[in-house]
């Protein structure tokens, strides 16, 4: 028997359908046990009375008369077999239900496994991020070193005024240990966006990663500096500046997570802020990528998510 089916049985046993089935099975077997005990007691009593009086006693106890030509003993034997059949039938129904649930669980697991996991062996680190007023003095900033990246609680938001134009300067380091050999048309861009306007700014177009690894080193490692003009939102609250990388065709696909680049529920911008809270200086986001044919890849995206408190 396949191991996956056995695992499916274990999972099915925890379902609400299984619980109802178990309750029905226990109820059926309790009924059979009580009925058999009663039948045994009546059999003892009937054995002590004359044969001609047994049918009347049987009618009194069970409100039934044996069919013509059937003795009281034969009826009781038939009743015993009927109870055993009911017990067996209840067991078979429950077994069938659990099997159906287990097969359904297994099918869902197979569908889930069909989404291929992808490990790009990529790393994206923030070295610094500064905000200044438009042509003015520094407003806020954040600096990340090796120790900062080891601290997931390093998440104090950068405070920015609302409805203001700011200049963002971000230093990032991209490391690529593995480049696809089968998909030579893939690039490895780095792009920046925010959770409030969803605009995409290219930090690195990713075009020369393959050439770098083929001609210089098997390990791509470069530092990039992004300078972007942003307009902060009008409403106060928590937002994020997002910097991402991955093996895609365009920088925008990093955020839409779709080849067609359309913003949908699959887009990174819809991700819960709780998933972003531990990637201030560098981290990863488990998120699926949807292809045009509907295939889904469970990808691990290198991401930097800097919290911004709009005042």
Q: Is 193 helix (H, G, I), strand (E, B) or coil?
A: strand
Q: Kindly report the CA angle at 254 between 311 and 121, in degrees rounded to 5?
A: 110
Establish how many alpha carbons lie within 13 A of residue 76's alpha carbon, considering only the half-sphere containing its beta carbon.
Answer: 22
- d(C-alpha 236, C-alpha 161), whole Å: 8
Q: Which residue has the tokens 């779709």?
A: 258
User: Tokens representing 55?
Assistant: 């049918």
Q: Are residues 127 and 105 in the same domain?
A: no
**Nearest C-alpha neighbor of 141 from the set 279, 306, 310:** 306
One domain for residues 104 and 125? no
Domain end (from 114, 130, 160)? 114
Gap between the Cα atoms of 235 and 16, Å rounded? 45
For residue range 18-68, list pLDDT tens digits in order. Answer: 667 677 777 777 877 877 777 777 777 666 767 666 666 666 666 565 555
Contact predicate 12/18, CB 8 Å: yes
**pLDDT at res. 88:** 80
In whole angstroms, give the CA distance from residue 95 to residue 89: 10
Residues 11 and 156 in one domain: no
Same domain for 174 and 25:
no
What is the count of structural domains for the chain?
2
Per-residue pLDDT of the chain (311 residues; tens, 9 = 90+): 444 444 444 544 556 666 676 777 777 778 778 777 777 777 776 667 676 666 666 666 665 655 555 566 676 777 777 777 877 887 788 777 777 766 665 554 444 434 444 445 788 999 889 999 877 778 888 888 776 665 555 568 899 999 999 999 999 999 887 655 555 567 889 999 999 999 999 999 888 877 777 777 777 888 999 899 999 999 999 999 999 998 888 899 999 998 888 898 889 999 888 888 888 888 888 888 888 777 888 888 899 999 999 99
Residue that finishes a domain, picked among 114, 131, 164: 114
Dihedral (Cα; 73, 75, 81, 87), 10-degree rounding = -120
- 18 and 37 assigned to the same domain: yes
Q: Are residues 85 and 204 in the same domain?
A: no
Q: Where are the beta strands (DSSP E) in the chain?
A: 116-118, 122-133, 138-143, 158-160, 165-176, 190-194, 201-204, 220-231, 237-245, 283-290, 296-310
Same domain, 131 and 274: yes
Question: For 97-135, how does the pLDDT look when each residue is reduced to its tens digit (9 = 90+)?
Answer: 777 766 665 554 444 434 444 445 788 999 889 999 877
- Contacts by residues 202-208 (CB-CB < 8 Å, ≥ 24 positions apart): 202/251, 203/170, 203/172, 203/243, 204/174, 205/251, 206/245, 206/251
- What angle separates helix 51-62 from helix 16-47, to the nearest 10 degrees? 150
Write down the pLDDT at residue 110: 42
- 34/74 same-domain check: yes
- The pairing of strands 296-310 and 158-160 is parallel
Contact 291, 259 (CB under 8 A): yes
Residues 77 and 122 in one domain: no
Residue 57: per-residue pLDDT: 67
Note whether 141 and 288 are same-domain residues: yes
Rounded to whole angstroms, how far apart are CA atoms 143 and 154? 11
Residues 88 and 123 in one domain: no
- Provide the residue range defining the domain that includes 160: 117-310
End of a domain among 90, 114, 138? 114
Residues 52 and 123 placed together within one structural domain of the fold: no
């Amino acid at each position: 028997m396949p191991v996956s089916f056995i695992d499916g049985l274990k999972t099915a046993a925890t379902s609400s359908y299984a619980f109802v089935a178990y309750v029905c099975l226990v109820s059926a077997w309790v009924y059979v046990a009580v009925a058999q005990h009663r039948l045994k007691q009546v059999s003892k009593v009937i054995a002590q009375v004359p044969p001609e009086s047994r049918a009347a006693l049987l009618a009194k106890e069970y409100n039934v008369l044996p069919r013509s030509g059937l003795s009281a003993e034969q009826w009781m034997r038939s009743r015993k077999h009927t109870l055993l059949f009911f017990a067996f039938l209840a067991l078979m129904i429950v077994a069938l239900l659990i099997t159906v649930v287990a097969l359904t669980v297994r099918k869902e697991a197979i569908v889930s496994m069909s989404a291929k996991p992808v490990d790009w062996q990529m790393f994206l680190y923030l070295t610094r991020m500064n905000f200044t007023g438009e042509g003015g003095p520094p407003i806020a900033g954040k600096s990340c070193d090796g120790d900062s990246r080891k601290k997931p609680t390093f998440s104090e938001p950068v405070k920015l005024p609302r409805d203001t134009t700011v200049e963002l300067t971000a230093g990032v380091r991209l490391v690529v240990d593995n480049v696809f050999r089968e998909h030579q048309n893939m690039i490895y861009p780095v792009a920046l966006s925010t959770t409030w306007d969803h605009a995409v700014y290219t930090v690195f177009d990713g075009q020369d990663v393959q050439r770098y690894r083929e001609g210089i080193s098997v390990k791509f490692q470069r530092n990039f500096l992004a300078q972007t003009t942003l307009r902060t939102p009008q409403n106060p609250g928590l937002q994020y500046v997002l910097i991402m990388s991955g093996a895609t065709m365009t920088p925008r696909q990093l955020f839409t997570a779709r080849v067609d680049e359309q913003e949908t529920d699959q887009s990174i911008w819809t991700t819960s802020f709780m998933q972003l809270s531990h990637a201030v200086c560098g981290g990863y986001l488990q998120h699926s990528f949807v292809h045009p044919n509907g295939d889904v890849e469970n990808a691990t995206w290198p991401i930097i998510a800097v919290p911004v408190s709009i005042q």
